[in-house]
A and B are shown apart, each in its own frame.
Chain A
Amino acid sequence: MRADRLRRSAFGSRAVWLLLSATAVLSCSSGRGADDVTTLRFWGMGREGEVVAELMAGFHRENPDIRVRVQQIPWTAAHEKLLTGFVGGAMPDVAQLGNTWIAEFAAINALEPLDAWIARSAELSAGEYFDGIWSTNVVSDTVWGVPWYVDTRVIFYRTDLLSQAGYDSMPRTWDGWVAAMHAVKRIAGPDRYAIFLPTNEWAQPALLGLQNGSTLLNADGTRGAFSEPSFREAFEFYLSLYRDGLAPPMGHYDVANPYQEFGRGFFAMWITGPWNLGEFQRRLPAETQGSWSTAPMPGPDRAENGVSLAGGASLVMYRDTDHPEAAWKLIEYLSRPEQQQRFYELTGSLPARTAAWEGSDLATAPLTRAFWEQLQHVEPLPAVPEIESIMSRLIEHSEASIRGGTSAADALAALDRDTDRMLEKRRWMLGRARERP
């Protein structure tokens, strides 16, 4: 009867429960396994996280006593997973960490300092990496990560449209660059533009500021320096590109398919990163393949000042790891030039190690040599944990100027006010640290 059925199902489910809880208890003791096999946990994000599992086969062959368990996390959830994992005490041994986040994780004592490991290592050292990239991993004179792959911004442009305007290569100074853009615009007409600068990205105004000598924040990263002349001039230059009709006042979402638009000449230049090398080849209309190239960023007055952002991700070791030696072996393995090379082939993410560039045609191939040149002149953002929130405020205030008509001085003053407020806690903590012996 119904009573029996319910009681039986209750009993049955209890039996199932006992069985499953037994399984759960058994599975809880994962990670230790047999005494002679160390299991390392590696968290990877995005495409790199998918691909890194393929690189592990070689590592396992070399180190039969170590097994690496790769867990993939989508980029959209990465920041929260990393922090939640830290707070909850459920951290991996090694992880891929975007280098703009290194300051944050170092500040909360989540990472293991790597200076001693690097000093002892026969396989890698600071000199084998791009200077600007290496310095993104250094906070308070300590090295917290080993660069894994790099990312920086260069100009992708239509060679045919530029030569129509009378230029056979991208100028190397701001003045030359603006003149080229005006020339392109004259031919393109009122409905088209010279360059695509999405209004909802902070990379462009930030790197222009860095080029002009701004440090974005003051010396110890406790107050905003956006109203200073070095940033203000760069910001006004940025705004002038919209005002003079060279760039459309549109954000990412306003352009449904930027590849299509680039292909049809809606804009002739686009400041973006290495992931688009592959995307351009895949997504541009067939007629446009072969009519585009890349060039390093022009500088305010000299080519060498054309710095760009030092982006990318590093390999970090978590402080609480039970297997530091094994973790370090993994980091060394993934940093080998051949592995960097192979990683590039699988993902399109540019290697951080200069040997991988020199040992292949990356430094000289027509599309990637702009990146090689640019990577010699990259600068990190200020290494404060709040930097990402500050950058998203930069977007808000610059959009207010571009689309809302706020003057540059007002926008930057408001940005400084917001930044100062966000850094208040940092000021308080540094103040306390100074007071303590």
Chain B
Amino acid sequence: MRNVQKALVYGLLLVGCVISLLPMVWMVSASLMETGAANQYPPKLFPERVTFEHYRALFTRLNLGRYLLNSAFIATTVTVLSLLINSMAGYAFAKLRFRGRDRTFRFLTLGLVIPVQVSMLPLFLLMREMGLINTYWGVIIPGMASIFGIFLIRQYALSIPDDLIDAARMDGAGEFRIYWSVILPVVRPILATLAIWTFLSTWNDFMWPLIVLSDDSMFTLPVALANLSGERVQDTELMMAGSVLTTLPVMLVFVLLQRYYVEGITMGSVKG
């Protein structure tokens, strides 16, 4: 009975793995196929002849290297800056006493229910006034502080023992010094999670960069890919190569750092 159960469970898990991975496998496989090979009947799962011509085309004719750099630059900048800003705010909401602290925090959490699209139109007009349309900063600035990030850090920071902080204060350390040298090392796990989360969502962000960036030299990968797909919908293999290039970096980041990421999510939800 137990063996049947085991076989059933493993069987279902295997089916799940196939479903999860098949589109990705086909994506990589089609990107290596010769032009036109992906559009045949019956469809093939693996290429008959492997070719890198589409990747070559993407990097030479279609400038995808530039878009890759753009995505990397923007995602890294947002991650670094937002870690700093969100952790400062999250720590302060958790541990520092100041007037109106809890009321302000409650007001902030209300913002979590507002879909971000509500702000997009006036934000676009505001950025136009500030001359930030079609600039990297126009994409970076809205991502620099996030209510969700502050929430996550505050949640974690609440569990820091007060004695730790008081001891440092009694030693004469200034508030920023305490934050930098005492708090940050302690909240390292949630920082790692937030860093990965921010990097992933900034890299994958589509709607706002689509709206703000009009010069194609500044496109991020998702925007460039959508632009390319509007034109080249017939070139299956080329589009798949573009998709691989867009997805691969974040998948690598995730797979290498997944332990921190998973810890953070499960912690945040269970504590929540």
Interface of A toward B, CB cutoff 8 Å? 2-3, 6, 10, 13-14, 16-17, 20-21, 23-24, 27-28, 30, 46, 49-50, 71-77, 81, 84-85, 87-90
Contact = CB atoms under 8 A, between A and B. Distances in A.
Given A74-B227, A75-B230, A90 B73 contact: no
Interface string B185-197: 1001001100000
Interface in B195-233: 211-212, 214-217, 226-227, 229-231
Q: Which of B127, B192, B229, B230 has the most CB of A within 10 A?
A: B230
A3 B185 contact: yes
B238 interface: no
B25 interface: no
A20 B69 CA distance: 8
Contacts of A73: 227, 230
> Size band of the B side of the interface?
20 to 34
A13 B79 contact: yes
A6 B257 CA distance: 12
B128 A17 contact: no
B230 A88 contact: no
A93 to B, nearest CB: 13
A24 B134 contact: no
Closest 6 CB pairs of A and B: A74-B230, A88-B133, A90-B134, A20-B73, A85-B214, A90-B214
Contacts of B144: none
Main secondary structure of the interface of B (DSSP, over half): helix
A73 B210 CA distance: 12
Contacts of B133: 87-90
23 contacts: A2-B188, A3-B185, A6-B188, A6-B192, A10-B83, A13-B79, A17-B80, A20-B72, A20-B73, A20-B76, A23-B69, A72-B216, A74-B227, A77-B226, A81-B214, A84-B124, A84-B211, A87-B124, A87-B128, A89-B134, A90-B133, A90-B214, A90-B215
Given A50-B231, A73-B227, A87-B125, 13 more contacts: A3-B185, A10-B83, A13-B76, A14-B80, A16-B76, A20-B72, A49-B231, A72-B227, A74-B230, A84-B214, A85-B134, A88-B134, A90-B215
A61 to B, nearest CB: 21
B77 interface: yes
Nearest to B127: A88
Q: Which of A75, A77, A87, A88 has the most CB of B within 10 A?
A: A88
A33 to B, nearest CB: 13
Given A6-B191, A20-B69, A20-B73, A76 B214 contact: no
Given A10-B80, A21-B73, A71-B216, A3 B188 contact: yes
Contact of B230 (A2, A17, A23, A76): A76
B136 interface: yes
A72 B231 contact: yes
A21 B230 CA distance: 30
